[in-house]
Amino acid sequence: MTTELNIVYFAWVRERLGRDEEVVHLPDTVTTIGQLVTHLQSLGTVYSEIFEDVGKLRFALDQEFVSLDHCLQGAKELAIFPPVTGG
Amino acid sequence: MTTELNIVYFAWVRERLGRDEEVVHLPDTVTTIGQLVTHLQSLGTVYSEIFEDVGKLRFALDQEFVSLDHCLQGAKELAIFPPVTGG
Amino acid sequence: MIKISVQKSDFDAGLEISKLSELGGGAVSSFVGQVRGDKQLQALELEYYPAMTEKALREIAKQATGKWPIHGLVIIHRVGRMAIGDQIVLTGVCSDHRHAAISACSFLMDQLKTVAPFWKKEIMSDGVEKWVDERQSDIDAAQNWRN
Amino acid sequence: MIKISVQKSDFDAGLEISKLSELGGGAVSSFVGQVRGDKQLQALELEYYPAMTEKALREIAKQATGKWPIHGLVIIHRVGRMAIGDQIVLTGVCSDHRHAAISACSFLMDQLKTVAPFWKKEIMSDGVEKWVDERQSDIDAAQNWRN
């Protein structure tokens, strides 16, 4: 059984990737967001560039802000985006 | 030559005195607002009651807040009123 | 744009905000004070010192423009008799920066409460009239801007 | 009364203030943010995260009602394309006390700027597009409420 996670992208992350969402199959070795980021970096040049400076990105798991060491287990949707700039 | 000063009253000072303004002839001995207050206290019971606790009153000379030791010289209008409560 | 008005008539807060918005600063802060239906209050009577009140408000406005970069500000204060729920006062500020707009707007209210010659009389439902006392919290708030 | 809205359409700041005024608190503070005509800016594009944005704004509103005695508050934030001078955001608070209303209104803006998932893209008159960077002053302002 493969675990699947829906990832949504916003702002320049979305534009650079050329997509606003995708379903990622999680290898057994990926349990935290940090590990997922490493996995995503292996998917291609654009991914590796975007995730090169992970401090410029923010993560929300099922619509709650989380840090890189947060577990993915049971989550349905991960959002990856730059710091918010509304208001 | 007598010096005259127009005094205007507001709020409960006006109500207690039953007048909103009056012209006061200043004796030669009165040069500061504090001295004027002492003079006004001699004019009757209502005056002496109103000015009994001078800390409850505020003074504006020609529309500028002033303290009791301020000189009256050359002024046209003195306003006497309780602390302001607008807004 | 500096607008100061002491008036008997009501005002349109939305219209005043629109005018401030047209100045192009991008940040408009405003405050509206109304007659609150406390206790047995029936109405409020606002007295003022015509020769001095507007002058005092202009001085407060001048201080605000000296402290913050402001495109425009408005102070409207009503006088006369007002019923519960009626608007009493409006302060509004337009600036390039939100903290400047918010701080200046708050400053205008704090200063107005302590140096502009207005006096409030409460008229209770049983006919009793009572002049409002000054509040230490208002004095403290005005003083805080000097620290 | 808590009103949260993320919408494409413009809003009527005066109407929202009127609604807050009807709550009887006596103190209504509001803030309006607009597109400022800086540099060569032609328009602003506001992106958001539909599943999360309103939820984040509700959480901010809840924090405000926990910190101050509030009769009602409103947060309206527009999304999509906006021209110079257009309104972007409104926060408004009604309270019995002016400092509570002003502080809560300021708090809503400071929190919104740092935790609500909105992203601004500047579109310049030469066609160049640039995502806006977060500002340290906004982070500091939001942090200050925790001290």
**Predicted confidence band of residue D38 (pLDDT cuts 50, 70, 90):** confident
pLDDT of residue A2: 62
Per residue in A19-72, pLDDT tens? 999 999 999 999 999 999 999 999 999 999 999 999 999 999 999 999 999 999
pLDDT of residue A3: 86
- Residue B64, both tokens: 């500028």
Q: Find out whether A44 and A70 touch, Cβ atoms under 8 Å.
A: no
Q: Which residues of chain B does C115 touch, with a Cβ-Cβ cutoff of 8 Å?
A: 65, 84
pLDDT of residue A1: 47
d(CA D89, CA D105): 12
Interface predicted TM-score (ipTM) of this complex, two decimals: 0.94
Please name the member of B12, B81, B86 whose beta carbon is closest to the beta carbon of C113.
Answer: B86
* Touch between A and B (at least 3 CB pairs under 8 Å): no
Where along chain D do its domains lie?
2-144
Per residue in C68-126, pLDDT tens? 999 999 999 999 999 999 999 999 999 999 999 999 999 999 999 999 999 999 999 99
Mean pLDDT of D40-54: 97
Instruction: Say if residue C55's pLDDT is above 90.
Output: yes
d(CA B35, CA B22): 17
Q: Find out whether B80 and B13 touch, Cβ atoms under 8 Å.
A: yes
User: Domain C2-144, CATH 3.90.1170.40 — does that match?
Assistant: yes
**Predicted confidence band of residue D146 (pLDDT cuts 50, 70, 90):** confident
Question: Measured between CA atoms, how close is D113 to chain A, in angstroms?
Answer: 5
Mean predicted lDDT score pLDDT of chain D: 96
pLDDT of residue D39: 79
Q: CB distance from D75 to chain C under 8 Å?
A: no
Instruction: Say if residue D7's pLDDT is above 80.
Output: yes
Q: Is residue C117 exposed (0-12), middle (13-18) or buried (19+ Cβ within 10 Å)?
A: buried
B77-81 vs B3-9, strand pairing mode: parallel
* Touch between D and C (at least 3 CB pairs under 8 Å): yes
Q: Tell me, what amino acid is at A60?
A: A
Question: Measured between CA atoms, how close is C37 to chain D, in angstroms?
Answer: 7
Per residue in D96-129, pLDDT tens? 999 999 999 999 999 999 999 999 999 999 999 9
Do C102 and D98 make contact, defined as CB atoms within 8 angstroms?
A: no
Q: How far is CA A33 from CA A20, A25, C120, C124, in A?
A: 18, 14, 61, 64
Do C118 and B63 make contact, defined as CB atoms within 8 angstroms?
A: no
d(CA B60, CA B11): 14
- Contact residues, chain A to chain D, C-beta under 8 Å: 8, 10-12, 60, 63, 65, 77, 79, 81-87
- Contact residues, chain B to chain C, C-beta under 8 Å: 8, 10-12, 60, 63, 65, 77, 79, 81-87
10-residue averages of pLDDT along chain B (87 residues): 87 97 94 96 95 96 97 95 98
Q: Which residue of D has its CA nearest to A79?
A: D49
